[in-house]
């Protein structure tokens, strides 16, 4: 119910969000992926809807129900997520990259199921494209928000990531506590400085984040 009383800070704006993990096939049944429940990305989608935005959610495999009112595009691999984002990003005013994208894909996945044997199996992994960096390097990027999951030196590494990817705003969290849990503390880093969102459930954090994004975006687009 709380959602109904959220101010419509993003009315008339189109928000593109990636969520969940991406999955890279090894063979017909196996693959490599990242640990991600998708909860944070789905909460951000819901908070953006509550704020009056038109939401497109590009989602890797999760167990979650798509948020009502969002246009959800299900994908599996990183290449599929990139293709979906490239098809949608021109229409977007704001891009929020919450997905835990697999950094590598398997070079020669087998079409059939590999039979196990007693030998060592070697996989060749090649780096995936960086979806967010692809978006920020476009001629006219939307307002881009990244996430940074860091195991150490949270603020320093996240700020480096923010600069490297040319992001006006990055949301940092500690991997130790972020994955699968329901309550997180977030650190927002932007051009004006840093801002801590005290530990709370992911929907509360998503609402606070959307309010912060709307404040910066609306100040830049009077």
Q: Which stretch binds ligand CTP (CB under 6 A): 97-105, 114-122, 181-189, 207-215?
A: 97-105
Strand-pair category, 104-106 with 125-127: antiparallel
Residue 185 interacts with, from ligand CTP, Ca ion, none (CB under 5-8 Å by kind): none
Residue 15 interacts with, from Ca ion, ligand CTP, none (CB under 5-8 Å by kind): none
The span from the CA of 176 to the CA of 178, in Å, is 6
Residue 103 CB, nearest approach to Ca ion (Å): 4
CB atoms within 10 A of CB 222: 4
According to DSSP, the residues that pair with 33 across neighbouring strands are: 23
Among 55, 146, 197, 214, binds ligand CTP (CB under 6 A): 146
**Residue 134 annotated as catalytic:** no
- The alpha-helical segments, DSSP class H, found in 137-220 are 154-164, 175-178, 202-220
173 interacts with ligand CTP by CB under 6 A:
no
The span from the CA of 26 to the CA of 197, in Å, is 39
Contact between 102 and 33 under an 8 Å Cβ cutoff? The reply is yes
Q: Which stretch binds ligand CTP (CB under 6 A): 6-14, 96-104, 200-208, 212-220?
A: 96-104
Active site residues: 34
Contacting residues toward ligand CTP, per CB under 6 A: 97, 99, 101, 103, 128, 130-132, 146-149, 161
């Amino acid at each position: 119910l709380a959602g109904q009383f959220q101010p419509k800070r993003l009315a008339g704006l189109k928000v593109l969000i990636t969520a969940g993990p991406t999955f890279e096939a090894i063979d017909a049944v196996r693959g490599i992926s990242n640990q991600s429940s998708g909860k944070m990305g789905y909460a951000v989608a819901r908070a953006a809807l509550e704020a009056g935005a038109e939401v497109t959610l590009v989602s890797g495999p999760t167990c979650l129900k798509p948020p009502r009112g969002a246009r959800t595009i299900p994908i599996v691999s990183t290449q599929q997520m990139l293709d979906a984002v490239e098809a949608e990003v021109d229409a977007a005013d704001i891009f929020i990259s919450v997905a835990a994208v697999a950094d590598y894909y398997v070079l020669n996945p087998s079409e059939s199921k590999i039979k196990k044997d007693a030998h060592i199996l070697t996989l060749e992994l090649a780096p995936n494209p960086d979806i967010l960096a692809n978006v920020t390097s476009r001629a006219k990027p939307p307002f881009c928000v990244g996430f940074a999951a860091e195991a150490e030196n949270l603020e320093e590494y996240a700020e480096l990531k923010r600069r490297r990817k040319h992001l006006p705003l990055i949301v940092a969290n500690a991997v130790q506590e972020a994955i699968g849990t329901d309550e997180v503390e977030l650190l927002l880093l932007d051009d004006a400085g840093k801002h801590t969102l005290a530990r709370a459930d992911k929907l509360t954090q998503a609402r606070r984040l959307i309010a912060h994004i709307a404040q910066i975006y609306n100040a830049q687009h009077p």
